[in-house]
Structure 1
Amino acid sequence: MSRGPAPVRAHTPAAEDAAEPDRQFVTALARGLEILRCFDAERRTLGTTEIAHITGLAQPTVWRLCHTLQKTGFLHVVPGKDKLQLGIAAIALGSAALAGQEALEVIRPLLQVLADRYQVAVALGRRDGDSIVYLLRCQGNSPLLMNLRVGSRIPLFHSAIGWSYLACCTPEDREALIARATSEGRMGDEADQQAMATAIAQYPERGFVFHPRPAYQINTVAAAIELPVSERYVVSCGGPDSLLPEPLMLNEVGPLLRQLAKDLQPILLMGRHI
């Protein structure tokens, strides 16, 4: 339900903060964490050249950081390949984070109800850099099964779930994000930009964005969950247009998703440790 190339550089809040003078900021640590962020459900193994391309870091810097991450157990060499993957230390850290996410287990059945009703996919995500990372994904019995799962990264500027995040940003924050992406050539062509602008402009009235993709015969709606800006979540519902034609999305599925976002708000507010 998304498209667009992987970002050339992984922008993170830490990296952005580092642009301002901060005597307490440890640049080497931020760069090491930026390397760990390169790995996700789709990019399970990476070479140092790929990591350098994704992060924008110099190759010698990547070599040194990856060596350190290997020594500390956060990265591991894939047997028989010149590739790296997350090590036991990173997996243990992720498991510790997931252990406290009781709110997600409360939310899962609510997403599954909508997924089963229309036999499509419903996902909950949160922004990380220039992507929305899936925290939950529920799949109905759809004839079209997308190769997406928990941990998948969806491009912020090329997806309904990303557009819904942008739609609930302040105009200043949204303009800053778009300006940076434009300067780095990650905004797509003029038609893509116009489609995004239209969807965002319609969000206040609709309460959701609608993203049709005729070339792929997929339609998606998405809505933001109103929380403090640093903790904002987004939810989406999408599938083949044979199951989710535009009139159904605009008149029925979109409003249901808008209500689902409202229903999830108090659950996420109570479980803000997620």
Structure 2
Amino acid sequence: MKRTITIPLSTDASAAPVAGAASGAPVAAAAEDGEADRSFVTALARGMELMRAFGPDDDYLGNAELSRRTGLPRPTVSRLSYTLARLGYLVYAPEREKYRLGQGVLVLGHRYIAGSRLRDIARPLMQSLSFATDCTVALAMPDRHEMIYLEACQPRGALVKRLTPGSRLPMATSAIGRAWLAGLPPARRQPVLATLERHYGPRWPGVRSRLERALRDYARHGFCLAHAEWERSVAGAAAPVRLQGGAEVLAINIGGAAERLPPEILEANLGPRVRALADAIQHRLWQGGDSTEERLP
């Protein structure tokens, strides 16, 4: 399958690396990007980014840590965290003098999944392929320089690494992240590449070279690969999933232990199967979720 895709990867080499906040970039930088736009509400952006500062391993964070991660002044963080707690998006623990994410965040996530019918349509197909291949099959969305699993279907056997919804993978070095990038129109891909360049700093040339190869693979085959890159024990293949006619792009992958999934198997077997899975999910979404059984290779 031949696909046309342009691969503009040149970005501003003078951009400074981003500090290591949990969400991938300081909130101040995100707010500055919108200052020239009169429709951009900086206070709202700061509040949303404050919630993104919570990483997958964070139970509670205080205002001082939130200020450090976001780059915002502590008095600003204090007002934002208080407001978000009043609205149910954060929960305050007086004995710790810290905050954790609240139920409001979970409700928004569930509404996103339910509103698109994506989970109901995708999960049966994903689980079927997972059982048939003895591999993990997962659906993910982007968050700065990472991908976040929205859904993950596991095989019956033991796995080297068992990833679940909420797990994070690096965008530039994982198959699922590369597939998401490949699914973007060039104009939307370019700002993401600039963010990745700032994140990787001096490591970017090497990362960019492997990413270019992955995008060329997508142009030729319709899927991207990663073998023992973001983690030495893991290998996988992935394809983009376009929603709303391409207005929104997610990605879906299939993977497992690198020792039993050499590049030859990824390219000849799992890559075409995950591409067919992505096509089937897109077709069902565009056709209104027809329940007619589709056969996947």
**Which interval holds the TM-score relative to the shorter structure?**
0.7 to 0.9
Please state if 1:220 is matched with 2:236: yes
Report deviation, 1:66. 0.7
Query: Offset at 1:106?
Result: 2.2
- Asked whether the equivalents of residues 103 and 267 of structure 1 are also in contact (C-alpha less than 8 Å), the reply is no
Residue in structure 1 matched with residue 275 of structure 2 by the alignment: 258
1:37 and 2:84 correspond: no
Paired with 1:64 and 1:271, the residues of 2 have a C-alpha distance of 43
For 1:75, the equivalent position in structure 2 comes to 90
Q: Which residue of 1 aligns with 2:219?
A: 204
Give 1:193 deviation, angstroms.
Answer: 2.6
Tell me whether 70-79 or 242-251 shows the greater mean CA deviation: 70-79
Does structure 2 retain, via aligned residues, the 8 Å contact 1:121–1:138? yes
- Alignment partner, residue 241 of structure 1: 258
> In the alignment, which residue of structure 2 is the partner of 1:230?
247
CA apart distance, 1:51:
2.7
Match in the other structure for 1:161: 176
Given candidates 13, 25, 42, the residue that maps to 1:9 is 25
Q: State the identity %.
A: 33
> Which runs of structure 2 are paired with 1:122-161 in the superposition (5 Å)?
122-146=137-161, 148-161=163-176
**Paired residues, what number?**
266
Give the whole-Å Cα distance in 1 for the aligned partners of 2:150 and 2:187.
27
After superposition, the C-alpha distances for 1:203-229 in whole angstroms (9 at most, x for unaligned) are 110111111116622211111123444
Distance change (3 Å), C-alpha of 1:99 and 1:233: closer
- Is the counterpart of residue 18 in structure 1 residue 38 in structure 2? no
Q: Secondary structure at the match of 1:225?
A: strand
* 1:267, distance to aligned residue in structure 2 (A): 2.5
> What does residue 73 of structure 2 align with?
58
Q: Residue 123 of structure 1: CA displacement?
A: 0.6
Residue 284 of structure 2 aligns to which amino acid in structure 1? I
Deviations 1:171-224 (A, max 9, x none): 343333222332344584543332112111221101111111166222111111
User: Is the contact between residue 254 and residue 274 of structure 2 (CA under 8 Å) also seen in structure 1?
Assistant: yes
Deviations 1:208-252 (A, max 9, x none): 111111662221111112344431121011110233222111100
Distance 1:187 1:229 in 2: 33
Q: Name the residue aligned to 1:46.
A: 61
TM-score, L = length of structure 1: 0.82
Q: CA deviation at 1:15?
A: 5.0
Output the CA distance in 2 between the equivalents of 1:76 and 1:250: 46
- Does the aligned pair in 2 maintain the 1:115–1:138 contact within 8 Å? yes
Extract unaligned runs of 5+ from structure 1. none
Mean CA deviation greater in 62-71 or 32-41 = 32-41
Structure 1 stretch 136-145 or stretch 252-261: which is displaced more?
Answer: 136-145
Q: 1:81 to 1:120 in 2, by over 3 A?
A: farther
**CA shift in 2, pair 1:130/1:20, >3 Å:** farther
| 2:194 matches 1:179 | yes
Higher mean C-alpha displacement, 65-74 vs 244-253: 65-74
Determine helix, strand or coil for the equivalent of 2:247.
helix
Per the TM alignment, residue 104 of structure 1 is displaced from its structure 2 partner at its CA by: 1.0
State whether structure 2 residue 206 is matched by structure 1 residue 191.
yes
SS at match of 1:265: helix
Task: Decide whether aligned partners of structure 1 residues 171 and 245 sit closer, same or farther in structure 2, where only a CA change above 3 A counts.
Answer: same
